[in-house]
C-alpha cells in the first residue's frame, strides 16, 4: 500500500471513530488478518490474566507471556487442538492459515500461518459471542503451551 493511500485510510478510520453506535461488521465476512489482530489481543490478555497468580513480578509475567503468545507456541497449540474443532471452526482456521501476511524472523512460514489461524479463530469466537467456547479453546491452548514450555529442549 502506498503511503498516501495509507494516510487517507487512516484519516477515514479516525473520522469513523468519532461516530457512536456504529455496528461491528459480520465476523464471517471480515478479513482473517483483522480477526487475527483481535484474537492476538484476546489471547495475550487471557495469558496475562492466567499468569497473575504465578508471580507478582512484572518481568516474570511478561517474559513467560511473551513466550506463550509467540507464533511458535501458538502453532504448537493449533496443531494439537485442530482435531477437536467443529466444521465451522475448521473453516475459519483454514481462512486464517491461507491469509496473506508478513512472516517474522522468529518463526517459520508454516508456524506463522498456524499461529495466524489460531489467532483468527480466537478473534472469530470473540466476535461471534461464543465466550464459553473461546474460554475453553484458550484454556486448552494455555495447557498445551504450558506443557511444551516445561519440556526440556535442545534448542
Q: What is the mean pLDDT of residues 4-26?
A: 86
Q: How many other C-beta atoms lie within 10 A of the C-beta of residue 81? A: 18
What percent of the chain has pLDDT above 90? 74
C-alpha span between 113 and 71 (Å, rounded): 9
Q: What is the mean pLDDT of residues 59-67?
A: 96
**How does pLDDT run across 31-58, given as a tens digit for each residue?**
999 999 999 999 999 999 999 999 999 9
**How does pLDDT run across 90-140, given as a tens digit for each residue?**
999 999 999 987 767 788 999 999 999 999 999 999 999 999 999 999 999
Model pLDDT, residue 151: 80
Which one of the listed residues 26, 40, 129, 154 is annotated catalytic? Answer: 40
Cα–chain-centroid distance for residue 18? Answer: 27
Model pLDDT, residue 155: 47
Ordered domains of the chain (ranges, CATH):
25-150 (1.10.1520.10)
Q: Is 129 a catalytic residue?
A: no
Compute the residue count for the chain: 155
Amino acid at each position: 500500500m502506498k503511503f498516501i493511500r495509507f494516510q487517507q485510510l487512516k484519516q477515514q478510520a479516525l473520522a469513523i471513530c468519532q461516530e457512536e453506535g456504529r455496528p461491528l461488521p459480520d465476523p464471517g465476512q471480515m478479513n482473517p488478518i483483522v480477526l487475527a489482530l483481535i484474537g492476538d489481543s484476546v489471547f495475550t490478555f487471557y495469558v496475562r490474566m492466567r499468569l497473575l497468580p504465578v508471580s507478582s513480578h512484572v518481568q516474570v509475567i511478561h517474559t513467560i507471556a511473551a513466550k506463550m503468545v509467540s507464533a511458535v507456541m501458538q502453532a504448537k497449540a493449533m496443531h494439537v487442538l485442530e482435531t477437536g474443532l467443529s466444521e465451522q471452526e475448521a473453516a475459519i482456521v483454514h481462512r486464517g492459515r491461507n491469509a496473506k501476511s508478513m512472516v517474522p524472523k522468529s518463526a517459520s512460514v508454516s508456524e506463522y500461518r498456524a499461529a495466524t489461524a489460531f489467532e483468527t479463530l480466537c478473534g472469530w469466537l470473540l466476535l461471534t459471542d461464543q465466550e464459553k467456547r473461546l474460554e475453553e479453546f484458550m484454556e486448552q491452548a494455555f495447557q498445551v503451551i504450558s506443557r511444551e514450555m516445561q519440556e526440556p529442549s535442545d534448542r
